Structure 1
Amino acid sequence: MPFRRALLSAIGTTASVGTAGCVGRIRRKLRGDTPIEDPCNAPTGSWPTAGGDSGRTGQTDTAPPAPDATAVDLLAGVRGNDRGQQHASNPPVVADGIAYIPVTGGLVAVDLNTPTDGPSWSRDLDVGITAAPVLACGAIFIPGTDHLTALNSTSGERYWRADAVGFSDTSAAVLDNSIYVAGFSPAAVDIRTGTVQWLEGAGETLALDDDGIYTTRSDSQVSGIFAYDLNGEERWRVSGEFVGSASVLDGTVWVADYQGTAYAIDARTGEVYWSHSLPGVNKIDAGLAVAGDEVFVPAGTGTTSVALDAATGEIRWAVDTGIVTGRPVVGDNWVAFGRTNDGVSVYDRTTGEERISWSRAEYHLGTIDGLVPVKDGFMIWEGSSSGLSLLR
């Protein structure tokens, strides 16, 4: 039974505090809910979830901005739409040239080709948005303080609302016909109907591959990274103070702890292939990026961002980026770091040589807490000021 299997697999921290299993309560569907019937083809030119994909690899097939790029305030047109003072409460997602932006009191859709014209549509929500949204099946899924809400991505009309909530950028992800949400009460939600089955425990982050779910948790009860198969059975756990989400690709999980040690772990067995303490790296909240045979580790609150050999963990290059609180973005031959207090810099993936940089002061940006790649540019989430700029 695929749906039951999906339900049992949700949010693997269940077994960290007891025996994994369902409470056994299925949500009664709210009156007026509409099932999603659109085909689940992947949107083009997209960044549909935090980290770019459910594995949180940070990979993109877009190109970085031109050296003479300009910066546009993406919320200027929203404020001019009689919505008052607006802030970007969480990082946006994007598909087919439309950015879906969590703002004060709701969500707005902005055409990136005409960003100053105001939103294509806006939807007020009666709960705050607590995590990055997720795009799938022609819908956008929005974790809030009390509910997971599914909206039509073209019109903003509501499909359904489910009793689920996520608390971090990487707390929601899609696998097959389910959307998984990590939070105070973790849940697996049928993507088409919004039907929920609760599970025990609580996870803080989620990363998925076709064969497992990988969560991190750090609190007074238990801390570590946990892996579960799609039958809900715990495969393995590795203890440690892991805060940012894991990245998973081709059977390997990469994660970093709060002290700046990076790990490579067999996704099926939990064998730690290698672990290396990285000088100049500290307190990584956002997670890593991985592509090909390289792993990219942001400085966190430290001073140095590094590229590692994915197979051995050896340092290939290191650059003085200063603080980097967002996940790196990896293109075909480049990697970008949002240098929190300084600007956005693009480096050669192989050598670490800086190709180009856009100064925070010159472009009048707030603190840079996250990058979302778009065609020929980046959206820059300015977390402390809750601003959002398009650099293109």
Structure 2
Amino acid sequence: MPSRRAALIAFGTGVAAATAGCLEQLQPGATKPPIDGPCAPAPETWSTAGGDAGRTGQTATAAPPADADSSPLRLGTREESGRRLASSTPAIGNGTAFVSVAGGVVAAMPGDEPRWAADLEDQFDAVPAVGCGVVFAAGLNETVALDPDTGEVLWRRDGGSHEETTVAYRDGTLYVGTHGPRVLDARTGEERWRADGGQTLAVSDDGVYAAEFSNGEGDLYGYDPDGEERFHLSLGKIVGSPTVADGTVYVVDNDGTVHAVDAVTGAMDWSQSSLDNGKLFTGLAVRDGTLVLPAGHGSTSYGIDTATGEVLWAQQTAMVTGRPVVGPDWVAFGRTNVGVAVYDLETGEHRRTWSREAYDLGVIRGLVPVQDGLIVDGGGPTGLSLLS
């Protein structure tokens, strides 16, 4: 079994390879970096909330071994407020976990101290995004691009958000969910287009999908890649971000009703509302024809057929308030008050569990995969732990 440090470093190796040559051409304060053509593709890693711009929750890594151990990831301290606490789950890149904290962003690695801490004088709640060789983060009032090795600000632009799933990177473009998507050139921060509806977002080849809930109403907006609105649906108390995969957009409301919507036309493919789960506060995951719905504040999590909306399996996971992680043949749930558990993606059969008490995992808010392991967001004083 690789060491805990090796697990993170090995997982991030592909990031450096995929983005080589992009970072050194990006200069602080530049308005027109000397890059011919688009940035390199986003690395095959957990580059932002939901793992990718589509918020699918997918990973190519292996689940932790049965004899896994846990160790903390230190975020350091601030003189005026003591220990830093994570405001979000991390994005992973270049062997490092990039974490939003009150006042900025921290680059954490296994060990006693973080790699760096960028104090940015804003409240950062969104999960960062890794792409084009840089780290992007959105605070309440601004969006910044940071050097992943030093935390130096490469560019900053007014406008941010407090939603966790508000930043996504794809093909040289940065998407920020403010009061509607704001689309920026990843190299300069220059605005390409903006729209009016939606705060959380997901992105695919077909377009940009934004959701919001306000004044008792939930809305899903579909935009084409150039920002023209294709559809606008009112679907109840939508929670988390949309998930988009294989031409379909999936959203879930606070009562556990799941909707599958055609990504181009906005036509409703199916809705599933006969599930016995509790109030939800997060998004979904999808892979190989299975949509995974967490239990929320209930006790049952589900695997759902993406083509029909029919239930494939149901598991008594106990409360799950974070997005599931789906590997090649497995799904992991952060069971809020119980621990981390892995199940078979196709059948829902339980494989193994790491208890919250035995591994000091805290009250689990979310999971992020690394090679042969998971980072567990234990919230509050427990913070982030590497389970590998």
TM-score by length of 2: 0.86
Q: Work out whether residues 341 and 353 of structure 2, in 8 Å CA contact, stay in contact via their aligned partners in 1.
A: yes
Change in CA separation of 1:311 and 1:197 when aligned onto 2, cut-off 3 Å: closer
CA distance in 1 between partners of 2:227 and 2:78 (Å)? 48
Q: What amino acid is aligned across from residue 86 of structure 2 in structure 1?
A: A
**1:344 corresponds to:** 340
Pick from 297, 302, 305: which aligns with 2:301?
A: 305
Conserved 8 A contact 1:328-1:336 = yes
Structure 2 stretches lacking a partner, 5+ long? 1-27
Q: Are 1:180 and 2:178 matched, yes or no?
A: no
Q: Note if contact 2:41-2:170 (Cα within 8 Å) is conserved in structure 1.
A: no
Question: For residues 311 and 209 of structure 1, what CA distance do their matches in structure 2 show?
Answer: 19
Compared with structure 1, are the counterparts of its residues 110 and 330 closer, same or farther at alpha carbon in structure 2 (3 Å cutoff)? same
RMSD: 2.4
Structure 2: distance between partners of 1:307 and 1:384: 30
Residue 267 of structure 2 corresponds to 271
1:63 is matched with: 62
The CA deviation at 1:70 is 1.2
Q: How many angstroms apart in 1 are the aligned matches of 2:135 and 2:249?
A: 27
Which residue number in structure 2 is paired with residue 75 of structure 1?
Answer: 74
Which segments of 5 or more consecutive residues in structure 1 lack a partner in the other structure?
1-31
Residues 219-257 of structure 1 show CA distances to partners (whole Å, capped at 9, x for unaligned) of: 117522111112322212221221221111111111111
Deviation at 1:201, TM superposition (A): 2.9
Amino acid at match of 1:97: G
Checking the alignment, whether the CA contact within 8 Å between 1:338 and 1:344 is kept in structure 2 is yes
- Aligned match of 2:324: 328
Alpha-carbon distance in structure 2 between the residues aligned to 1:178 and 1:265: 24
Give 1:238's aligned residue. Answer: 233
Could you tell me how far apart the structure 2 residues matched to 1:63 and 1:43 are?
Answer: 20
Name the CA shift for 1:149/1:386 in 2 (closer, same or farther; >3 Å): farther
Instruction: After TM superposition, give the deviation of residue 202 of structure 1 in Å.
Output: 4.7
Residue 357 of structure 1, CA deviation: 0.3
Residues 165-244 of structure 1 aligned to structure 2 (within 5 Å) = 165-184=160-179, 186-196=181-191, 199=194, 201-220=196-215, 222-240=217-235, 241-244=237-240
Rounded Cα–Cα distance in structure 2 between residues aligned with 1:385 and 1:283: 25
Describe the superposition over 1:35-79 as per-residue Cα deviations: whole angstroms up to 9, x where unpaired: 566773346562111000110000000111111111111127x34
- Report if aligned partners of 1:175, 1:210 keep a CA contact under 8 Å in 2: no
Instruction: Determine the C-alpha separation between the residues in 1 that align with 2:81 and 2:29.
Output: 27
1:162 maps to 157
State the identity %.
45
Q: CA deviation at 1:383?
A: 3.2
Find the aligned partners of 2:323 and 2:245 in 1 and give their Cα distance.
Answer: 16
CA distance in 2, matches of 1:210, 1:243: 23
Deviation at 1:327, TM superposition (A): 0.6
Deviation at 1:184, TM superposition (A): 4.1
For each residue in 1:176-197, what CA deviation from the matched residue of structure 2 results, as whole angstroms up to 9, or x when unmatched?
A: 3321111247522221111236
How many pairs are equivalent? Answer: 358
Matched residue type, 2:74: L
Q: Distance in 2 between matches of 1:82 and 1:363?
A: 30
Matched, 1:260 2:259: no
Shift, 1:110, TM fit: 2.6
What's the counterpart of residue 22 of structure 1?
none
The answer to which of 302-311 and 177-186 deviates more is: 177-186
Give how far 1:82 is off. 11
Q: Compute the displacement of 1:198 (Å).
A: 7.0
Q: Shift in Å at residue 87 of structure 1?
A: 0.8
Secondary structure in 2 aligned to 1:362? helix
**How far apart, CA to CA, are the structure 2 residues paired with 1:266 and 1:45?**
26
Write the letter of the residue equivalent to 1:68. D
Measured at CA, do residues 305 and 34 of structure 1 come closer, stay the same or move farther in structure 2, by a change above 3 Å?
A: same
Confirm whether residue 123 of structure 1 aligns to residue 104 of structure 2. no
Report the residue type matching 1:367 in the other structure: V
Letter of the 1:272 partner, please give it. M
Contact 1:48 1:134 in 2 (8 A): yes
Moved more, 242-251 or 80-89: 80-89
Superposed, 1:39-118 pairs within 5 Å as: 40-42=39-41, 44=43, 46-75=45-74, 78-79=76-77, 84-111=82-109, 115-118=110-113
Quick one: distance in 2 between partners of 1:306 and 1:279?
8
Q: SS of the counterpart of 1:361?
A: helix
- Indicate if the aligned counterparts of 2:132 and 2:172 stay in contact, CA closer than 8 A: no
Aligned to 1:25: none
Does the Cα contact within 8 Å between 1:182 and 1:202 map onto a contact in 2? no
Moved more, 54-63 or 92-101: 92-101
Quick check: 33-42 or 185-194, which moved more? 33-42
Aligned counterpart, 1:27: none
Q: Matched residues in 2 for 1:231 and 1:250: separation? A: 20
Partners of 2:114 and 2:289 in 1: how far apart? 40
2:159 partner letter: A
Whole-angstrom distance in 2 between the partners of 1:37 and 1:383: 41
Greater percentage in strand: 2
Bigger mean CA offset, 50-59 vs 207-216: 207-216
User: TM-score, normalization: structure 1?
Assistant: 0.85
Distance in 2 (CA, whole Å) between partners of 1:217 and 1:179 is: 19
